[in-house]
Amino acid sequence: MKIFCTLFFAIASLISISIYSQEEMPTYQLSGLAPDELSSLIKEGSSFILECQPKDRVPVNYFLKGDLLPLKATPLDKSVLEIQKPIYVKFDASKVTFSTDKTKWKNLKHFVREKPLRNLKLIKAS
């Protein structure tokens, strides 16, 4: 019985810590942040939730590091993500997850229908 009680309280405390940290995590609206503010939050490794609303636009400049196939974006690259439905993005330590209701958090692949490489188009280098 003693082991059961100890286990029960250990699990209960973990659940309450998880709920507490979720509620205490600061939430920012994408439309209220300047791009350099958002970049700063991400680079600092801060834990926060980013609330994105329909019609919000996110300019992105992406790259991949690596010894074999690095991808470098040029200053002329102007890719933009336009939010279609309300979504929340949770930045927590080194993990980024997404949710439509702030209760169930999933990886990005659950929200993207296309496979990124299927839409890769090669262009002639200038």
Q: Distances from the Cα of 1 to the Cαs of 4, 6, 12, 13, in angstroms?
A: 5, 9, 16, 18
Nearest of 83, 89, 93, 94 to residue 105 by alpha carbon: 89
Read off φ and ψ for residue 46, nearest 5 degrees: -65, 150
Domain segments of the chain as ranges: 26-119
pTM, to two decimals: 0.65
Q: How does pLDDT run across 62-99, given as a tens digit for each residue?
A: 666 777 767 676 666 667 888 999 999 999 877 899 99
The mean-pLDDT minimum among 26-30, 61-65, 96-100, 108-112 falls in 61-65
